[in-house]
Structure 1
């Protein structure tokens, strides 16, 4: 490691800034590797992380060793593959249990699930995705594959399109320009112009749809939760199987969904700790 520069070589503030940038870069690498393990569909090893991250082997080894030491990752002894560690799961559990937004919304989410008889999700924006922070399963025997903590695309989900429709034009355009739009099903919108048109429709009617765009056989209705000043802070979806969708979806799903969002938005506005745009 190079020796620190003397004060005569660079001002103290400049050296401090350089150290902060270097520390941030290292932290970002650690988080990137951790995210790769979390998002992997199958257990991964160091070689797989090297390919996915583009980092050299010594860097990946160093990061993995540090994450294991902090119990953020665990290494399975027989396969040498990696999984999320108990400390990370503990932190995530505490974050979820203490989420003020989730606690403010959970009663209405239960009421919405009971009224519709369908699966209900609560999601918050995270850069170019939405993250589920609550899921209440339908009482039906059929279960959806989603889970709390799952990141889902903005362009292919009802929660994502509801959130985008609540943004002002400038923020929406900036987001669309950098939005990845992979195709998940034949119905997925992968064209920016088509997505803008869908967002306009969502604004006009006040709620969004996911017509088998994220998962085949699943139809979702979405609406936004707003904070103070109308800032979008979260979204709710009601998800049903296409074959059992009720004849009058506007009454069966959309009306109770909009009412739930209205009540939760009012509750947020009346709660000082939830009065900003960051309500987690």
Structure 2
């Protein structure tokens, strides 16, 4: 009996590994569909989710049903299109509220907003993009359309360029080669060499510019927050309608921006994290 049991053990382990791999693959599909719902400009239906994901419609139907049952997405409109659900929003809210970076940054971000009277974003790198984890609105009537959770390009946004400028050459090149270089406006840089030059200039001067490259009629300045190990833990941007740009950007925006980054880095201390 003992020898029979021993001979079966490798087969049982293999079966367990196969189940683990299959479970991971299924989970990845759920996350992919959830991300598509989150990124859609308008609530998508099953057909659009199927086309965007490449999964068959029956598969997407099952995924959507499961996500609805867990409160991760909800049906809206006539019940055939989907938005993020309350459970997911609650989980995301808790994540942002408990972020060490956000907690360390909030006072400095408020001061930066008050000094500049413009919209302030705090962003972190995520899967080849930057994602906003905090936003403080400008007191002016004309405001930004962005929101917490918005993902922006590394190559067209000020926070993205600020992040790229802090990386080593190999890491930066890996991200740049995978970057889609999508054109958002007539000012967007879509030539890789031009992007490299822009990132090099950003590294040289210590801050990034977005000259209506990510959004029409919106200009931004961005800078990186570095942890004690020298790695960038996040980036801040000051964003405004281009018509509101002041004549002395160095004094009006850049110096307060860099001061905020230094203040936040000091508050994070040796245990800095996102």
Q: TM-score, normalised by structure 2?
A: 0.93
2:136 is the counterpart of 1:132:
no
Task: Give 1:78 shift.
Answer: 2.9
Residues 42 and 269 (structure 1), Cα distance of their counterparts in 2 relative to 1, 3 Å cut: same
Q: 1:142, 1:157 → 2: CA distance?
A: 20
Q: Is the 8 A contact 2:144 2:240 kept in 1?
A: no
- Map of 2:98 onto structure 1: 98
For residues 3-26 of structure 1, what are the alpha-carbon distances to aligned partners after superposition, in whole Å with 9 as ceiling and x for unaligned?
xxx965955444333322211111
Contact 2:104 2:268 in 1 (8 A): yes
Aligned to 2:23: 23
Cα offsets for 1:18-52 (capped at 9, x unmatched): 32221111101001111111111112221221111
In structure 2, what is the Cα distance between the partners aligned to 1:182 and 1:47?
A: 24
SS at match of 1:229: coil
SS of structure 1 residue aligned to 2:138 = coil
User: What are the within-5 Å matches in structure 2 for residues 222-261 of structure 1?
Assistant: 222-261=222-261
CA distance 1:259–1:16, change in 2 (3 Å): same
Local SS of the residue matching 1:180:
coil
**Runs of 4+ residues deviating >4 angstroms:** 6-13
TM-score by length of 1: 0.91
Which position in structure 1 is the counterpart of 2:218? Answer: 218
How many corresponding residue pairs?
269
Unpaired runs of 5+ residues, structure 1, are 1-5
Residue 74 of structure 1 corresponds to 74
Q: 1:17-166 residue pairs with structure 2 within 5 A?
A: 17-76=17-76, 78-166=78-166
In structure 1, what is the Cα distance between the partners aligned to 2:77 and 2:157? 39
- Counterparts in 2 of 1:7 and 1:227: CA distance versus 1, 3 Å: farther
Shift in Å at residue 192 of structure 1? 1.1
Q: CA RMSD in A?
A: 1.7
Residue aligned with 2:229, SS: helix
Match of 1:168 in 2: 168
